[in-house]
Amino acid sequence: MTANAADLQEVPIQMMSRTMIRSALSALAKTSSVCAIVGLLNMPVHAQNAFSPAVIVNDSAVTYFEIEQRARLLVIMSAPGDPLELAREQLIEDRLKLQAARQAGIAPSEEGIVSGLESFAKRVNMKPEDMLKALAAEGISEEALRDFLSSQIAWGGVVQTRFGANAQVSEEEIDRAIAQSSGQGGVRVLLSEIIIPVTPQTKAQVDSLAAQISELSSFSEFESAARIYSASGTKENGGHVDWMNVTNLPAPLRPVISGLRKGEVTPPLQLPNAIALFQLRGIAETGRSTPRYSAIDYAKFYIPGGRSEEALEEATRVRSEVDKCDDLYGVGHGLPAERLFRETQKPNEIPRDVAIELAKLDDNEISTNLTSADGHNLIVLMLCGRTAEINDAELSREDVAQSLRNLRLESYANSYLSQLRAQARIIEK
């Protein structure tokens, strides 16, 4: 059985041309953590030991050369985190995915890989050959990109074959999701949350833990897990979040929440450097329609020190001094410009962790649950306002159903990958 590009999950990538790639890297180089990687991209590959094993995954080797190539690709794709560490973790998982595919008799077809290359090129408005030349100029081989696509395509085939029949959704679930996502009926939900930080070193353990939490149905067990594992500010009260309108939630999350029954938990949801899980505690009709939003105006004020006592005290001081977003300009006066960020964005443009936090807020309310720069900066997040949509377009039943199916498949896939990793023999060199 062969898998094709239809099994390739959407992967963000930011590549336009060699000049624009270099511009992107120059901008990234303003942060010290990326400077070393920019230097890496400008260095030749060391031939000595380049093809010796860095990791053995069961009986398959991952070489130092492969890790360096994947790290270069991840920098171009603006992947968060340390590219070298992330490359090593991804390649370990790639070996596990390809081994599972071989056991299932699934192989990525050449047609599927070529289609994947064309899809990547189309998303950056380039011809495949021009994209490959731009990558080659940055020291990234065509084989590195083909390997990246091959594992994605093969794994997509494994997931569809193994779990596709279990990811079907009912017409009732689709009706409910459409009604709640569009604001019809004015639905509010009462949720509990668990936000677990992730690093390349802890990804396997966190994936396994999140898969276990997603199977919980007890309110008390979820509350206990929140107090132990969650990094959110709600952990002390068992992850409880106040009532909120479903339409405040990020669009991809609405069908997931809509498909829950009381006590059920969402599949693990990927955030930048974290995994989120939500449990439905209650649902209610408000008796009136609630709007969907075309734009969100919000501000972020960064405080060095992460969740240290000093940074939290500073956040409390900021909270006491501001009544509306415009007051933050006074707080930020005389400080470096990068300490204060304010922008109006479409809901689907807002990073998912920020969007989830904004969903809990009313106008001019503040949250201090988020951090940035690997936890080194505390974020004072303030909702400035929401702009309601006019003449909402009718939701597609198939789009809603596909969103529900994809998230269920993602949960199954993460659990299966964690299982494969726990059973594997992995030797780090």
Distinct helix (H) and strand (E) counts, the chain: 15, 13
Q: What H or E segment, with its residue span, contains residue 188?
A: strand 187-197
Number of Cα atoms under 13 Å in the Cβ half of residue 254:
29
pLDDT of residue 202: 86
Place of tokens 């405080």: 303
Q: Which of 180, 178, 162 is nearest to 408 (CA)?
A: 162
Q: Which of 90, 51, 50 is nearest to 73 (CA)?
A: 90
Distance (Å) of CA 113 to CA 66, 75, 95, 109? 18, 22, 17, 6
Burial 47-62 (b: 16+ CB within 10 A, else e): eeeeeebbbbbeebeb
Place of tokens 């023999």: 425
CB-based contact 364:324 (threshold 8 Å): yes
Going from the N-terminus, what domains does the chain have, and what CATH number goes with each? 2-165 (1.10.4030.10), 171-290+394-415 (3.10.50.40), 293-388 (3.10.50.40)
Query: Residue 408 and residue 56: Cα distance in Å, rounded?
Result: 31
Burial label for 169, CB within 10 Å (0-12, 13-18, 19+), is middle
Place of tokens 């199954």: 412
Query: Residue 325 and residue 390: Cα distance in Å, rounded?
Result: 25
- Phi-psi domain of 151 (left: phi exceeds 0; alpha: psi -120 through 50; beta: other): alpha
Q: How big, in percent rounded to 5, are the helix, strand and coil portions of the chain?
A: 50, 20, 30
269-271 β-sheet, strand order:
244-245, 187-197, 274-285, 269-271
Backbone angles phi, psi at 375, to 5 degrees: 90, 0
Q: Which residues contact 92 (CB under 8 A, 6 or more apart)?
A: 55, 57, 62, 421, 426
Question: Could you tell me whether strands 107-108 and 2-3 are parallel, antiparallel, or unpaired per DSSP bridges?
Answer: parallel
pLDDT of residue 28: 35
pTM over 0.85: no
pLDDT of residue 176: 65
Q: Which residues contact 332 (CB under 8 A, 6 or more apart)?
A: 301, 339, 340
Query: Residue 347 and residue 403: Cα distance in Å, rounded?
Result: 17
User: Cα torsion for 381, 383, 389, 395, to the nearest 10°?
Assistant: 40
Distance (Å) of CA 77 to CA 83, 116, 414? 10, 16, 22
User: From start to end of 357-416, where are the E strands?
Assistant: 366-372, 377-388
Segments in the chain below pLDDT 50: 9-48, 391-392
Provide the 3-class DSSP secondary structure of residue 390.
coil
